[in-house]
């Protein structure tokens, strides 16, 4: 494994150089275009185009009579283009919806392609034609001549996206608005569609017809988890696409029985899953962490509130309260209360040890704040929202942890700094509130 | 005589696949889930390969079970990615089926010595070889194994749709109302998805994993342009399926190409005719009336 | 002004509902007597449809519950019917008016059952009640908007429920349909059924309903229309100051507050 790794990445074999550069170009360029197709919610159009290029390739071969990569590409491009037009034609003129139109175009074009391909194979010149590479991809056998095509297309795509970045962004985000400010939306959509067809025609030579959709969609999905900014999303998608493609090429180099295209897709999907779990902010892990820490904070606030209420009840600020005493008032677990008290101790909000604790001055202020918000909110619900007094407690239990100081001030002013809550408990204020 | 029988069995099997798929396709396109059908047909591949590896045959119970559960898993993953992961619906479909299909292809490549599935089979099936594999002989007539299996499939699907017609119809037309009156919409959804998975798996040997999409969607869409009456739509989609199998077979013979590919092509031809000339919903009718 | 009812058939208890963590309905708490036509009135975005959807359990609330006839919703589904917004379905669907109305009989016949002659009789009666019997076999795509709305009503009628939730049945319908729906609402309330109708037009509301539920993300008033339809309450519904709720909603959305 290590040896093939070194062999592969030392680029001593010129074929390896071709493969690496070729897959890298394909991966990056289709990812860039893919960002726009995904954002325009047309992800599966890429899938339809990929299937639809096959009859074009076969017809180009049949008409031309021999394998000329450029002619085949041209055939692929034309038939991919026609497929987009047919999809729009069906959706605009009949009651058939987009999903079915995609399915129809995808499968019928592909069926025709298969019919032509098998016909060509039976007539005996399929092997030299290399049409198969359009079906399954041939990333592992990219040769020097291919690089010119791939490179040219990649450069073209990047330049186009760079030049029309603002326009593409606008028509992806809000085509109606773009139309209203007089932008030739149809024309830009046409350009974007053509770029997609171009990316697909080239991309299928790496991963094949069926898996092409992933080359467009998956890097964009993965990149989306990391950022809200479009240009950064595009750069990340290109990077992810490039990494996956080169990894796929390497895997099939190290284990020659392994097909390149499928491995590219597997790596891509893993990168997307990784992003989904570990991306900051939008990732599962970060969401889960946030939820857990806010849960812990709410529990701490509830402990402070309880300690404050105990003080309020007997008017004694100078005694320790045992955890046992707290558990009598709330349906909590001993261990979680203890852990919360330890955390509060670290923040100097409580003093004491193991089983017995009391509020510090800061802790008292905090506990009082929670109780105050709880009662203010109950009063707001009964007076402003006209909710029955016996129905307000549950909501106040939630809101006391959400309402922030500015909002609390606002609430207090709105209610004219009230004395008592709907249940006739006093609303406690801190000294400086007077 | 033998030659005639060959034709007959292939056309029969093509028609059975077409009818089973078309019936389900009618529900799929009305639910706007055509591409989910596409996704399922691709993602059952790893299930077929693994189950085939375990059982050694393409038409065993293991294969059907393995692949059907994978089809259900696919719909489940798509929904999870969409609802929990915040991935938009179309991207979730694309992401899921390409991954599972890729895994399937890798499994085939890894076991290429031991498996009797090759990439051609995945792409367009081997319907032409159906008459060679005899299942049983009744009254001196040799009946191919696939013909029996596909008849059972057609029977199962049509029974399901007959018995569950009301529920499928209601949850397809107005799922929100169905929910409100306490209908188990999720059960119906997964029942339909299980049927689609089963149909794709059983049809796999005949038409492959990709062209089955044509069988699912195109006849149903053609029928949808021709009628406003749901039972007629079911019936017409089957008729389109049979006509396509018949004409497709002879087109394939004429061109000496893939039969499944030719049947799909003919489905496209029938769809185009409906698209242009359908009395109420066709292109010309609409253009002429406005 | 929230009128309390002694023997209520619908009890909405402290319902709070959110979309993406942002509450759209706050602490909705009221009950309704039987045999009335109640209108849910409020401006756009007030959460009117959300309210009936969460009462029926189509959207699960963050907090609170609903009881109908004193029972949780799932025990009583067959007595509850629903008329969704007309735009919520695809009218290109290959079905006849009769097919749609028969759907109202689904729960009577269970999972694998079939519709019988009795169901067809009831479906015909329901179509008759909304003056749509002549169109029974017409394809729904060929019906006018008002006629489609009446088919939806007939479907709810065929269910023979006791309480009906209707989402904007008057939206964009012709005069004939409007009259027909009104007639129907009156007739049904006379026979003891309860109708809860989402309605966006303040002008016509007073003529249509017995009771009113004034809503703007929070509940402003519930009660007989004479008590509720006052300048002051209407003003509060359409121009009320919600800055506290709005600010709080934004905080909650940003915080991903765990439920």
pLDDT in tens, B221-277: 999 999 999 999 999 999 999 999 999 999 999 998 899 999 999 999 999 999 999
**CB neighbours (10 Å) of residue B65?**
15
Confidence band, pLDDT 50/70/90 cuts, at residue B144: confident
Q: Within 13 Å, how many C-alpha atoms sit on residue C44's CB side?
A: 0
In a domain, A2, yes or no: no
A82 token code pair:
């026609």
| Co-location of A306 and A179 in the same domain | no
Mean pLDDT of chain B: 88
Q: Nearest by CB to A402, which of C27, C29, C257?
A: C257
Which residues in chain C are contacts of A386 at CB distance < 8 A?
Answer: 1-2, 219-220
Single residue among A359, A378, A402 that ends a domain in this structure? A359
| Co-location of A311 and A373 in the same domain | no
Report CB contact under 8 Å: C256, A392: no
Mean pLDDT of B284-290: 82
In a domain, A309, yes or no: yes
| Co-location of A62 and A78 in the same domain | yes
pLDDT score at B272: 96
Q: Which helix (H) or strand (E) holds B113?
A: none
Mean pLDDT of B1-26: 87
Report percent pLDDT > 70 for chain C.
97
Q: Nearest by CB to B218, which of A46, A104, A123?
A: A104
pLDDT score at A275: 94
Task: Say if residues C105 and C119 touch (Cβ distance below 8 Å).
Answer: yes
**Residue carrying the six token digits 């283009």:** A81
Inform me whether the pLDDT recorded for A90 exceeds 80: yes
Which residues in chain A are contacts of C256 at CB distance < 8 A?
Answer: 287, 290-291, 294
Which residues in chain B are contacts of C56 at CB distance < 8 A?
Answer: 180
| Co-location of A323 and A402 in the same domain | no
Confidence band, pLDDT 50/70/90 cuts, at residue A434: very low
| Co-location of A334 and A406 in the same domain | no
DSSP secondary structure letter of residue C160:
T
Mean pLDDT of C53-66: 90
Confidence band, pLDDT 50/70/90 cuts, at residue A215: very high
Strand C163-167 vs strand C80-83: parallel, antiparallel, or unpaired?
Answer: parallel
* Full-model pTM: 0.90
pLDDT score at B3: 58
Which residues in chain C are contacts of A407 at CB distance < 8 A?
Answer: 244, 247-248, 251
Give the B:C interface size as CB pairs under 8 Å: 82
Cα–chain-centroid distance for residue C145? 18
| Co-location of A97 and A229 in the same domain | yes
Smallest CA–CA separation between A53 and chain B, in Å?
Answer: 15
Tell whether the torsion through CA atoms of C188, C193, C197 and C201 is positive or negative.
positive
Confidence band, pLDDT 50/70/90 cuts, at residue B1: very low
Confidence band, pLDDT 50/70/90 cuts, at residue A241: very high
Inform me whether the pLDDT recorded for C107 exceeds 90: no
| Co-location of A172 and A321 in the same domain | no
In a domain, A6, yes or no: no
Report CB contact under 8 Å: A210, B33: no
Confidence band, pLDDT 50/70/90 cuts, at residue B64: confident
pLDDT score at A405: 83
Closest CA to C56 of C76, C86, C31, C85: C76
Phi–psi pair at B65, nearest 5 degrees:
-65, -50
In a domain, A3, yes or no: no
- Return the CA Rg of chain C: 19
Smallest CA–CA separation between A249 and chain C, in Å?
Answer: 41
In a domain, A306, yes or no: yes
pLDDT score at B285: 87
Closest residue of A to C251, CA-based?
Answer: A402
Closest CA to A380 of A369, A370, A395: A395
Strand C163-167 vs strand C22-32: parallel, antiparallel, or unpaired?
Answer: unpaired
Report ipTM (2 d.p.).
0.93
pLDDT score at B162: 93
Higher pLDDT, B221 or A351: B221
pLDDT score at A282: 84
Confidence band, pLDDT 50/70/90 cuts, at residue B156: very high
The superfamily (CATH) of domain B2-212 is ABC transporter involved in vitamin B12 uptake, BtuC (1.10.3470.10)
Interface contact B173, partner C, CB < 8 A: yes
| Co-location of A270 and A290 in the same domain | no
CATH number for position A405? 1.10.10.10
Inform me whether the pLDDT recorded for A258 exceeds 50: yes
Single residue among A238, A261, A280 that ends a domain in this structure? A280
Interface contact C114, partner B, CB < 8 A: yes
Task: Say if residues B44 and B63 touch (Cβ distance below 8 Å).
Answer: no
Q: Nearest by CB to A115, which of B210, B220, B252?
A: B252
CA distances to A253, B130, C161 from B91, in Å: 30, 37, 42
Mean pLDDT of A36-50: 91
| Co-location of A131 and A239 in the same domain | yes
Higher pLDDT, C242 or A348: A348
Q: What is the pLDDT of residues C174-223, one digit of tens each?
A: 888 888 899 899 989 998 899 999 998 888 888 899 999 999 888 989 99
Q: Nearest by CB to C56, which of B180, B227, B232?
A: B180
pLDDT score at A15: 77
pLDDT score at A235: 93
CATH number for position A257? 1.10.3470.10
Q: Nearest by CB to A122, which of B88, B257, B260?
A: B257
- Give the domain range for residue A303: 286-359
Mean pLDDT of A20-27: 87
- Ramachandran region, residue A428 (left: φ > 0; alpha: ψ -120 to 50; beta: rest): beta
Mutate to test the interface with B, among A30, A89, A111 (most CBs of B within 10 A): A111
Mean pLDDT of B205-221: 90
| Co-location of A65 and A210 in the same domain | yes
Confidence band, pLDDT 50/70/90 cuts, at residue A125: low
In a domain, A1, yes or no: no
Interface contact C155, partner B, CB < 8 A: yes
CATH number for position A302? 1.10.10
Q: What is the pLDDT of residues C20-30, one digit of tens each?
A: 778 889 889 89
In a domain, A139, yes or no: yes
Confidence band, pLDDT 50/70/90 cuts, at residue A431: low
Q: What is the pLDDT of residues B99-116, one digit of tens each?
A: 999 998 888 888 766 656
Alpha-carbon distance of B70 to B177, in angstroms, equals: 30
Which residues in chain B are contacts of C104 at CB distance < 8 A?
Answer: 181
Q: Nearest by CB to B98, which of A93, A118, A213?
A: A213
Q: How many domains does chain A have?
A: 3
In a domain, A184, yes or no: yes
Inform me whether the pLDDT recorded for A229 exceeds 50: yes
| Co-location of A292 and A274 in the same domain | no
Q: What is the pLDDT of residues C67-93, one digit of tens each?
A: 999 898 888 888 899 999 998 999 999
Report CB contact under 8 Å: A269, B95: yes
B38 token code pair:
């596409």
Mean pLDDT of A133-149: 76
């Amino acid at each position: 494994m290590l040896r093939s790794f070194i062999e592969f990445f030392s680029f001593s074999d010129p074929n390896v150089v071709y493969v690496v550069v070729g897959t890298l170009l394909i991966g990056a360029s289709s990812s860039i275009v893919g960002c726009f197709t995904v954002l325009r919610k047309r992800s599966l159009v890429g899938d339809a185009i990929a299937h639809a290029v096959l009859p074009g390739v076969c017809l180009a071969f049949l008409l031309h009579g021999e394998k000329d990569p450029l002619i085949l590409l041209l055939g692929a491009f034309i038939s991919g283009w026609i497929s987009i037009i047919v999809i729009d034609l069906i959706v605009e003129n009949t009651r058939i919806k987009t999903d079915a139109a995609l399915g129809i175009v995808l499968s019928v074009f592909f069926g025709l392609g298969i019919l032509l391909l098998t016909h060509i194979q039976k007539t005996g010149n399929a092997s030299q034609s290399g049409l198969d590479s359009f079906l399954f991809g041939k990333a592992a056998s990219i040769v020097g001549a291919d690089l010119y095509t791939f490179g040219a297309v990649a450069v073209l795509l990047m330049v186009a996206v760079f030049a029309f970045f603002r326009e593409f962004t606008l028509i992806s985000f809000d085509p109606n608005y773009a139309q209203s400010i007089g932008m030739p939306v149809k024309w830009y959509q046409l350009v974007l569609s053509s770029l997609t067809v171009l990316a697909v025609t080239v991309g299928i030579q790496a991963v094949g017809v069926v898996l092409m959709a992933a080359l467009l969609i998956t890097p964009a999905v993965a990149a989306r988890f990391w950022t809200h900014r479009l240009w950064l999303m595009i750069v990340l998608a290109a990077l992810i696409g490039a990494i996956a493609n080169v990894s796929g090429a390497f895997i099939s180099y190290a284990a020659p029985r392994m097909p390149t295209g499928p491995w590219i897709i597997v790596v891509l999907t893993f990168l997307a899953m990784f992003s989904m779990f570990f991306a900051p902010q939008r990732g599962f892990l970060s969401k889960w962490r946030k939820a857990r820490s806010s849960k812990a904070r709410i529990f701490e606030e509830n402990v402070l509130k309880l300690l404050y209420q105990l003080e309020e009840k007997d008017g004694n600020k100078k005694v320790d309260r045992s955890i046992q005493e707290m558990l009598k008032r709330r349906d909590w677990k001993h261990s979680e209360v203890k852990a919360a008290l330890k955390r509060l101790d670290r923040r100097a909000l409580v003093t004491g040890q193991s089983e017995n604790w009391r509020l510090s001055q800061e802790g008292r202020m905090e506990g009082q704040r929670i109780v105050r918000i709880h009662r203010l909110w109950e009063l707001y619900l009964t007076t402003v929202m006209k909710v029955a007094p016996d129905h307000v407690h549950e909501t106040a239990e939630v809101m006391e942890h959400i309402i922030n100081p500015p909002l609390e001030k606002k609430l207090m002013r709105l209610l004219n700094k009230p004395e008592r809550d709907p249940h006739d408990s006093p609303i406690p204020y801190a000294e400086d509130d007077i | 005589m033998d030659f005639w029988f060959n034709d007959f069995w292939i056309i029969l099997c093509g028609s059975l696949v077409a009818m089973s798929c078309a019936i389900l396709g009618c529900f799929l396109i009305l639910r706007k889930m055509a591409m989910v059908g596409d996704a399922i047909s691709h993602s059952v591949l790893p299930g077929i390969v693994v189950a085939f590896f375990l059982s050694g045959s393409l038409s065993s119970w293991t294969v059907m079970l393995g692949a059907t559960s994978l089809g259900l898993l696919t719909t489940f993953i798509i929904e999870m990615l969409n609802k929990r992961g915040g991935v938009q619906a179309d991207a979730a479909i694309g992401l899921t089926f390409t991954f599972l299909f890729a895994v399937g292809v890798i499994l085939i490549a890894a076991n290429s010595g031991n498996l009797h599935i090759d990439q051609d089979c995945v792409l367009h099936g081997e319907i032409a070889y159906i008459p060679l594999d005899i299942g049983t002989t009744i009254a001196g007539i040799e009946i191919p194994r696939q013909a029996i299996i596909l008849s059972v499939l057609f029977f199962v699907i049509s029974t399901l749709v007959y018995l569950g017609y009301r529920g499928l119809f209601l949850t397809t037309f107005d799922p929100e109302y169905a929910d409100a009156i306490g209908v188990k919409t999720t059960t119906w959804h997964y029942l339909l998805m299980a049927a689609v998975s089963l149909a794709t798996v059983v049809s796999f040997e005949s038409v492959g994993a990709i062209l089955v999409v044509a069988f699912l969607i195109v006849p149903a869409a053609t029928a949808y342009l021709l009628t406003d009456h749901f039972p007629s739509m079911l019936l017409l989609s089957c008729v389109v399926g049979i006509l396509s199998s018949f004409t497709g077979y002879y087109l394939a013979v004429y061109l000496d190409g893939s039969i499944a590919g030719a049947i799909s092509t003919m489905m496209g031809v029938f769809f185009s005719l409906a698209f242009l000339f359908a009395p109420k919903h066709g292109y010309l009718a609409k253009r002429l009336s406005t | 002004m929230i009128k309390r009812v002694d023997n209520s058939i619908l009890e909405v208890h402290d319902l709070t509902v959110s979309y993406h963590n942002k509450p759209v309905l706050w602490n909705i708490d009221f009950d309704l007597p039987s045999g009335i036509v109640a209108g849910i009135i409020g401006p756009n975005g007030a959460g009117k449809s959300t309210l009936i959807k969460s009462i029926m359990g189509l959207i699960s609330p963050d907090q609170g519950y609903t009881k109908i006839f004193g029972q949780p919703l799932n025990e009583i589904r067959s007595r509850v019917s629903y008329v969704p917004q007309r735009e919520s379905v695809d009218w290109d669907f290959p079905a006849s008016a009769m097919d749609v109305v028969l759907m109202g009989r689904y729960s009577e016949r269970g999972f694998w059952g079939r519709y019988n002659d009795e169901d067809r009789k009831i479906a015909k009666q329901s179509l008759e009640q909304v003056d749509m019997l002549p169109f029974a076999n017409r394809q729904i795509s060929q019906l006018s908007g008002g006629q489609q709305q009446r088919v939806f009503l007939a479907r709810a009628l065929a269910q023979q429920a006791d309480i009906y939730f209707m989402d904007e049945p008057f939206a964009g319908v012709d005069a004939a349909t409007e009259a027909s729906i009104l007639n129907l609402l009156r007739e049904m309330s006379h026979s003891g059924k309860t109708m809860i109708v989402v309605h966006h037009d303040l002008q016509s509301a007073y003529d249509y309903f017995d009771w009113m539920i004034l809503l703007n993300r929070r509940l402003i008033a519930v009660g007989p229309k004479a008590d509720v339809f006052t300048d002051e309450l209407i003003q509060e519904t359409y121009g009320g100051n919600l800055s506290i709720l709005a600010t709080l909603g934004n905080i909650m959305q940003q915080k991903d507050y765990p439920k």
